[in-house]
Amino acid sequence: MAVVIDRREFQASDLSTGDEVISPYWVAANPNEEVSVLQIAAYTGPRDYQLGYFEQVAGATDSSQLTLNGVITRSPTDGQTLLPTGLINGIDSEAIAQNTFDPNGPFSFYIEWLASGNTDFGDPIFQPTDRGASGNSVLPGGDILIRTFPLIAPDGNAIPDTFLLFQDYASINFDWNDNVYIVSNIRPA
């Protein structure tokens, strides 16, 4: 069974499970405040992953048409760790990998392993191939490789406009914890 979301056709196996929110694009929930990103886990080897965003480009069908804006870059020395440190101007810092950004409208996320140049996109239309995350080759472009869930407080309620963002880099083992972030002040576009 196919479902259309934001003009994109998804098969049932690609749809969200549980509380997952599938949205290729997001907006700042409060446009007068910046979007905040904090990396809380990095369960890959020592690699320099960068989380960033790109603004929606009408009619774009290829990632070369996008302007990628880096937000945080994880220190390549911090693999298999909680609260990894980030790079500041390309130099390891002792600061936790976190930052803010101010989008001008609808945006999506990307995560790139800088040393390899391989990038996963929050909008699957820009994935160069279906990497098998869902076993579905029907998706436009490729799979959904960045997944989001509402952040739930200890009382069981969702924290408003705050999400957990998960990535399984290159969909190798489907553990969805290679890079984990808390992103605040966003809502689906």
Q: Report the run of H or E that residue 77 belongs to, with start and end.
A: none
> What integer pLDDT is reported at residue 139 of this predicted model?
42
Alpha-carbon radius of gyration of the chain: 16
Q: Please choose, from the candidates 134, 131, 110, the residue with its C-alpha nearest in 3D space to the C-alpha of residue 120.
A: 110
Quick check: 42 and 86 in contact, CB under 8 A?
A: no
Question: What pLDDT does residue 128 have?
Answer: 65
Helix (H, G, I), strand (E, B) or coil at 148: strand
* Amino acid (1-letter code) at residue 124: P
189: Cβ–Cβ under 8 A, 6 or more apart, which residues? 6, 23, 25, 26, 27, 56, 106
pTM of the full structure? 0.86
pLDDT by position in tens, the chain (length 189): 445 555 555 555 555 667 888 888 999 999 999 999 999 999 887 788 899 999 999 999 889 999 999 999 998 888 899 999 998 777 788 899 999 999 999 999 999 887 777 888 898 888 765 555 444 444 444 567 788 999 999 999 999 999 999 987 766 666 777 899 999 999 999
The pLDDT score that the predictor gives to residue 141 is: 46
Do 168 and 133 meet the contact criterion of CB atoms below 8 Å apart?
yes
pLDDT in the model for residue 8: 55
95: which 2 tokens? 């600061």
CA-CA distance, 54 to 49, in Å (whole number)? 16
pLDDT of residue 164: 97
